Amino acid sequence: MTKEKRAMISAPAIAKNVPAKEDRHFVTALARGLSVLSCFSSGEKMLGNLDIAKRCKLPKSTISRLTYTLTKLGYLVYVEDTGKYRLGTSTLALGSAMLARLDVRDLARPLMQELADFSKAMVSLGSRDRLSMIYVGNARSSAALTLSLDIGSRIPIATTAMGRAYLALIPEREREDIMERVRELDEVAWPTIRAGIERALKEYRETGCVSSFGEWQSDVNAIAVPLRPGGGLPPMAINCGGPAFTLSKEFLLGEVRPKLIALVRQLEASLGMRG
């Protein structure tokens, strides 16, 4: 997969998500503004109008008007030295408010830390955004060399354990829609990607867990279990992963998997009692 297409997965073009034109309730200008904000991932703190235009598949003149408006409202900040934009405090405030309301993060944190210490790996909680999974919670072992991903990081939904766990839980019709959009991004790689997803669905039915061993990045191994948080929140997923040279397939499946499944079941029970 090319670098450009990987970027499209991280910040999918709005054209893939805009409902039919006859939907009179859909505000295109608002959707475009939100699409601009979604281009900023934790790995790229500053983007120029041309960068954003390519990712949103919109004319640069349209993007210029959107970034100007978002800057005036405090959602973006223009950095004169680079001629690019970074997220402003208004955006960060929205994100903080959302995260503060996710009770699941507070309940999951100690359980995730315990598993991270046991596995000497990184345990993360994620939710879906279009064709990506976004990390909303992280726990790391102090004794381990772990991945550099942090809260706010995006990973692909189709090739990662976390993404596949999400796909395994959602209704078939919704899953097929997501898979079709993934296929459109890379027709050449699609047969391999589809095979990985289908294998994960079978794995989840048989073991309650899914895996990705070197399929997202060749040197990364991970397993994941979907989570039903309840309370009106959409499905989420918790993964455990890290460098392949420290986390073997046998260790993850044999020793970490039962503990990860038990963690998710305990968390779902706690969320149910709180609800």
What is the pLDDT at residue 14?
A: 41
- Give tens-digit pLDDT for 85-113: 988 877 766 765 566 556 788 889 999 99
What domains does the chain contain, in order, with CATH numbers?
3-94 (1.10.10.10), 102-274 (3.30.450.40)
d(CA 76, CA 247): 39
Query: Would you state the structure tokens that stand for residue 153, as one six-digit string?
Result: 């990081």
Best CA proximity match to 201, nearest among 182, 176, 232: 176
Best CA proximity match to 47, nearest among 14, 26, 29, 70: 70
Average pLDDT of the chain to the nearest whole number = 85
Could you give the residue ranges of the DSSP H alpha helices within 39-171? 49-56, 60-72, 89-100, 103-119, 161-169
d(CA 215, CA 221): 8
d(CA 74, CA 33): 13
Residue 143 has a CB neighbour count (10 Å cut-off) of 9
d(CA 87, CA 41): 10
Task: Give the CA distances from residue 54 to residues 63, 134, 153, 216, in Å, rounded to whole numbers and listed in that order.
Answer: 10, 21, 20, 24
**DSSP calls for 31-61:** HHHHHHHHT--TT---B-HHHHHHHHT--HH
pTM of the predicted protein model: 0.71
Q: How confident is the model at residue 42 (pLDDT cuts 50, 70, 90)?
A: low
What is the pLDDT at residue 92?
A: 65
Query: In sequence order, what are the beta bridge partners of 193?
Result: none
What is the pLDDT at residue 99?
A: 62
- Give tens-digit pLDDT for 173-203: 999 999 999 999 999 999 999 999 999 999 9
The DSSP code for 1 is -
Best CA proximity match to 55, nearest among 136, 150, 179, 154: 154
